[in-house]
């Protein structure tokens, strides 16, 4: 167990930031850093001690698989809709797989020519077969950590609609996990604004669950937590405990007695007392998290803000052949030193089970956190106090998450709160930083994912693109604008000219749409947020993502949200930006593979491509569009091998 100072990864931000991941992810990062160079690389090379491992395990698996010679298929699927995703309405009668690849797809008679004496024939019984889902943007490490805790997401994403719901979820979790008295009970995702009581569950509420276990609940934002009396006793927080710098210990009314709620840096008092995972435990958690991705029909996932320790864990999993699906890692720019960048350049064409995508930039925050950078003021001004621009302000956080080479480039965000004309949020990078990274990546052929929620942040991105690339667009790099929620028509025009590709976050319309309309950005702007139809009308290829752990990992719910644009109140928000089911499904299969330079291997059902498949309970192309989100994933197949089955 390390001391509290070694575990301090806190910062003063009111919204989740890129420099200091939430509590449990900090624990994972620390576990990864414990892997020694000898344990990680065994003489293989460098990039955070482990880069050269990528691709070895999956290649070894390929070399030792039960390879068959000739044209005899391992399995042939028929008897249900087979959606190739090549064109709207394109369907096949049968599909054959051999050695992890598709060897035939088309009419039943032609495909059956691949049948041999040992070929397995699978009757789909009317169920739908289509390409496995390609996750365009999420955070595997964050989501895996969340899977390892009691899920307290508010309704409709989760089941916690009240404090009573939270209490029952925790009781069920203790029973299910058979936690021994004295063991820590950790929950994640509660939202005081999303439950009936509109307040935090406090120590008394959680004492009603149990006083035998220390209980700690992490807020959905990652910047607050609450706990029971046993937790406060374990940590040593009493009426005499002073508020730490940058944090607040909430008190019961009229007294100094803590009520259990810890704000910002006060929550980090808990970290040094939690049972720290070993590297093997952290690896097991990540492996289990990826199996949940497979359960959602995902055959390629992404970790889009990978830090040093987490990369070590992913690499060790690949070396041991324990990654159930493919994983693309995107190191965040401020965690990449010169050696790491050189290694990314050397490995940008990797095709193993684990590979690097490129560099992740973050230009602003989130709309619902009042930290997205807008060109016009927020509809309703924030009233919760000062909004602190993203900047690590603890030495420990900088040691964990920021490479020394980047300290000079991450000192000052391009903050602009727009005080004269109303609050507009702020940028988290300067214009010079954005241009620096575009030049560096362009010069070395490295793809960029750039997070912009607000349109002013997108303006910064496009200014850098137009300045660095001038009259020589680089569509070959497939620069991806992540979230792109407030992209204006003129910005979509620039993106089309330069071959940029957006990845929209349509679940926002469902989960936060009513609040975006009434509180954050108003009716006019909210009606065209996530402008997928406008992008399609300009010929832009785009993808759709869930940004896990923000809104679950269901790709079908993502597609449903883009097709229907219905909010939690049942109102349609921006009907003109709706897209068709085929367009939505392409955005999580073929176009997602294209966006990530994998269209030659994934995304459509064609001869020679990987047999990355998903079997669904219904046909999403013909079902009532409002029911797409209710379709069940029955089986997920990665390179011909079942990695999830609902009947297993």
Question: How confident is the model over 241-258, as pLDDT tens digits?
Answer: 999 988 899 999 999 999
When pLDDT is averaged across residues 55-66 and rounded to a whole number, the result is: 37
Q: Are 621 and 582 in contact (CB under 8 A)?
A: yes
Distances in Å between the alpha carbon of 358 and those of 450, 480, 526, 601?
A: 11, 11, 31, 19
Give me the residue label for tokens 């590979």.
355
Q: 3-state class of 526 per DSSP?
A: helix
When pLDDT is averaged across residues 500-529 and rounded to a whole number, the result is: 95
Q: Are 31 and 307 in contact (CB under 8 A)?
A: no
When pLDDT is averaged across residues 158-182 and rounded to a whole number, the result is: 96
- What confidence score (pLDDT) does residue 194 get? 81
What's the first-to-final CA gap in the chain, in angstroms? 39
pLDDT above 70 covers a percentage of the chain that reads: 85
- What confidence score (pLDDT) does residue 26 get? 76
- What confidence score (pLDDT) does residue 204 get? 98
Number of separate helices (H) and strands (E) present in the chain: 23, 23
- What confidence score (pLDDT) does residue 60 get? 34
Token pair recorded at residue 43: 């003489």
Orientation of helix 431-443 relative to helix 455-469, angle to 10°: 50
Of 208-212, 244-248, 567-571, the range with the lowest mean pLDDT is 244-248
- What confidence score (pLDDT) does residue 163 get? 98
Beta-bridge mates of residue 328: 302, 355
The predicted-structure confidence for 315-332, as pLDDT tens digits, reads as follows 999 999 999 999 999 999
Query: How far is it, in rounded angstroms, from Cα 274 to Cα 254?
Result: 30
Give me the residue label for tokens 């320790």.
309
Beta-bridge mates of residue 215: 185
- What confidence score (pLDDT) does residue 148 get? 87
Of 44-48, 299-303, 530-534, the range with the lowest mean pLDDT is 44-48
* 293-310 burial code (b ≥16 CB/10 A, e <16): bbebbbbbbbbbbbbbbb
Q: Are 555 and 581 in contact (CB under 8 A)?
A: no
Q: How many CA atoms, within 13 angstroms, populate the side-chain half-sphere of residue 295?
A: 12
Token pair recorded at residue 86: 């090549």
Split at pLDDT 50, 70, 90, the class of 438 is very high
Give me the residue label for tokens 């199996």.
291
Q: Are 613 and 128 in contact (CB under 8 A)?
A: no
The predicted-structure confidence for 573-604, as pLDDT tens digits, reads as follows 999 999 999 999 999 999 999 999 999 999 99
DSSP 8-state class, residue 505: -
- What confidence score (pLDDT) does residue 368 get? 81
Q: Structure pTM?
A: 0.86
Find out whether the peptide bond into 203 is cis, omega within 30 degrees of 0. Answer: no
When the pLDDT of each residue in the chain is averaged and rounded to a whole number, the result is 87
- What confidence score (pLDDT) does residue 405 get? 55
DSSP-assigned letters across all residues of 301-361: EEEEEE-HHHHHHHHHHHHTT--SSEEEEEEBGGG--HHHHHHHHHTTT--SSEEE--EEE
- What confidence score (pLDDT) does residue 59 get? 38
Domains along the sequence of the chain with CATH: 140-272 (3.10.310.70), 278-358 (no CATH), 360-367+425-579 (3.20.20.140)
- What confidence score (pLDDT) does residue 349 get? 67
Token pair recorded at residue 5: 């100072």
Query: How far is it, in rounded angstroms, from Cα 274 to Cα 23?
Result: 10
For residue 88, give every residue at least 6 positions away whose Cβ sits within 8 Å of its Cβ, in sequence order, or none: 580, 582
Query: How far is it, in rounded angstroms, from Cα 427 to Cα 18?
Result: 13
Q: Are 350 and 314 in contact (CB under 8 A)?
A: no
- Tally Cβ neighbours within 10 Å of residue 251: 14
Beta-bridge mates of residue 504: 483, 544
């Amino acid at each position: 167990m390390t001391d509290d100072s070694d575990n301090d990864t806190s910062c003063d931000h009111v919204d989740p930031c890129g420099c200091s991941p939430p509590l449990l992810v900090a624990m994972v990062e620390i576990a990864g850093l414990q892997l020694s160079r000898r344990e990680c690389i065994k003489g293989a090379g460098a990039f955070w001690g482990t880069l050269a491992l990528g691709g070895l395990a999956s290649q070894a698996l390929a070399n030792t698989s039960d390879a068959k010679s000739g044209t005899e298929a391992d399995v042939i699927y028929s008897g249900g809709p087979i959606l190739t995703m090549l064109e709207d309405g394109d369907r096949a009668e049968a599909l054959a797989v051999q050695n992890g690849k598709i060897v035939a797809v088309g009419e039943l008679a032609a495909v059956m020519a691949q049948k041999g004496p040992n070929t397995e024939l699978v009757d789909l019984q009317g169920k739908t077969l289509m390409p496995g889902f390609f996750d365009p943007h999420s955070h595997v490490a964050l989501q895996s950590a969340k899977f390892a805790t009691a899920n307290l997401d508010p309704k409709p994403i989760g089941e916690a609609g009240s404090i009573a719901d939270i209490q029952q979820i925790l009781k069920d979790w203790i029973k299910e996990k058979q936690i021994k008295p004295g063991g820590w009970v950790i929950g994640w995702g509660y939202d005081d604004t999303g439950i009936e009581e509109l307040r935090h569950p406090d120590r008394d509420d959680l004492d009603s669950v149990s006083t035998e276990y220390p209980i700690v609940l992490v807020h959905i934002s990652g910047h607050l937590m609450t706990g029971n009396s046993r937790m406060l006793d374990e940590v040593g927080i009493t009426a005499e405990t002073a508020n730490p710098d940058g944090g607040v210990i909430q008190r019961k009314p009229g007294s100094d007695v803590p009520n259990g709620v810890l704000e910002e840096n006060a929550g980090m008092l808990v970290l040094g007392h939690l049972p720290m995972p070993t590297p093997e435990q952290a690896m097991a958690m990540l492996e289990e998290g990826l199996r949940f991705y497979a359960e959602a029909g995902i055959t390629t996932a992404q970790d889009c803000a990978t830090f040093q320790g987490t990369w070590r864990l992913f690499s060790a999993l690949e070396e041991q052949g324990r990654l159930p699906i493919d994983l693309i890692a995107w190191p965040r720019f401020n965690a990449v030193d010169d050696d790491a960048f050189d290694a990314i350049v050397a490995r940008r064409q990797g095709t193993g089970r684990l590979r690097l995508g490129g560099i992740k930039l973050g230009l602003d925050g989130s709309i619902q956190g009042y930290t997205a950078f807008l060109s016009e003021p927020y509809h309703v001004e924030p009233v919760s106090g000062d909004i602190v621009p993203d900047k690590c302000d603890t030495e420990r956080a900088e040691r964990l998450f920021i490479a020394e080479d980047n300290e000079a480039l991450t000192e000052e965000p391009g903050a602009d709160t727009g005080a004269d004309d109303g609050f507009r949020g702020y940028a988290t990078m300067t214009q010079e930083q954005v241009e620096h990274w575009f030049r560096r990546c362009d010069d070395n052929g490295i793809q960029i994912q750039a997070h912009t929620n607000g349109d002013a942040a997108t303006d910064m991105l496009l200014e850098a693109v137009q300045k660095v690339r001038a009259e020589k667009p680089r569509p070959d790099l497939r620069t991806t604008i992540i979230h792109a929620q407030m992209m204006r028509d003129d910005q979509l025009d620039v993106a089309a000219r330069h071959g940029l590709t957006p990845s929209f976050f349509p679940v926002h319309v469902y989960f936060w749409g009513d609040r975006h309309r009434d509180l954050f950005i108003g009716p006019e702007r909210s009606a065209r947020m996530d402008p997928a139809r406008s992008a399609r009308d300009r010929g832009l290829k785009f993808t759709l993502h869930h940004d896990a752990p923000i809104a679950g990992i269901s790709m079908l719910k993502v597609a449903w949200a883009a097709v229907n644009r219905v909010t939690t109140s049942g109102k349609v928000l921006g009907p003109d930006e709706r897209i068709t089911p085929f367009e939505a499904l392409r955005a999580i299969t073929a176009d997602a593979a294209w966006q990530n330079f994998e269209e030659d291997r994934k995304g459509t059902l064609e001869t020679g491509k990987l047999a990355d498949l998903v079997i669904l309970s219904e046909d999403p192309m013909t079902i009532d569009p409002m029911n797409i989100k209710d379709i069940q994933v029955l089986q997920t197949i990665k390179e011909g091998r079942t990695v999830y089955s609902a009947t297993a």
